[in-house]
């Protein structure tokens, strides 16, 4: 079993992310879904014993070799990491669902909207943890805890405040 802490859209403010990571020291991996991926670098320096994965978002610049998306294999499950802006996620998750169907992806992680969301579909779960520092709408700052094993994926949205 692998436990993930998933954050997105920190936009230069890692204060709550640091508190959340300290609260969940038992995670196996921290995933940052962009805007600003350099915050993931800063967190990586603060928590060198944790494994970090990240992608860049539409507000990132000078990205170097940081990917716009990546697929991880975790406990036999395929997990897509993307910021989401290239999938027009502000207008729905259809394009993410199509990608998941075509590429046999069981978990899609995205950000960009700053609004937490979970969709349980027949073949996959689509998860947006919301924003760890800049929530939109009626939501508070948020993140997600994901537990993956070879048989199932459990997701839990959490308030960061």
38-55 average pLDDT score = 97
- Going by C-alpha positions, the residue among 71, 56, 61, 57 that lies closest to residue 124 is 71
User: Mean pLDDT over residues 59-71, rounded?
Assistant: 94
Calpha distance 141→160 (Å, rounded): 5
As a whole number, the mean pLDDT across the chain is 96
Phi then psi dihedrals of residue 37, to 5 deg? -65, -25
Q: By percentage, how much of the chain surpasses pLDDT 90?
A: 96
Q: Which of 33, 38, 21 has the alpha carbon at shortest distance from 131? A: 33
Return the pLDDT at 138.
83
The full length of the chain comes to 161
Mean pLDDT to the nearest integer, 25-39: 97
pLDDT band per the 50, 70, 90 thresholds, residue 16: very high
End-to-end CA gap in the chain = 27
pLDDT given for residue 161 in this prediction = 85
| Residue 28 in tokens | 């196996």
Instruction: Place 137 in a pLDDT band, splitting at 50, 70 and 90.
Output: confident
Q: What is the DSSP letter of 65?
A: T
pLDDT reported for residue 148? 98
CATH topology of domain 2-159: Purple Acid Phosphatase; chain A, domain 2 (3.60.21)
Instruction: Work out the pLDDT band at 139, boundaries 50, 70, 90.
Output: confident
pLDDT in tens, 109-134: 999 999 999 999 999 999 999 999 99
């Amino acid at each position: 079993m692998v436990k993930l802490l998933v954050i997105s859209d920190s936009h230069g403010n890692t204060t709550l992310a640091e508190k959340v990571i300290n609260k969940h020291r038992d995670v196996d991996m921290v995933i940052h879904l962009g805007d600003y991926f350099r915050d993931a670098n800063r967190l990586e320096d603060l928590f060198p014993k944790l494994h970090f994965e990240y992608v860049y978002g539409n507000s990132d610049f000078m990205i170097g070799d940081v990917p716009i998306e990546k697929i991880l294999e975790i406990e036999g499950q395929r997990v897509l990491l993307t910021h989401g802006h290239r999938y027009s996620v502000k207008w729905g998750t259809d394009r993410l669902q199509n990608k998941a169907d075509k590429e046999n992806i069981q978990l899609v992680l995205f950000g960009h909207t700053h609004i937490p969301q979970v969709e349980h579909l027949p073949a996959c779960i689509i998860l947006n943890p919301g924003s760890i520092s800049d929530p939109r709408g009626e939501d508070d700052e948020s993140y997600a805890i994901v537990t993956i094993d070879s048989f199932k994926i459990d997701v839990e949205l959490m308030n960061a405040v």
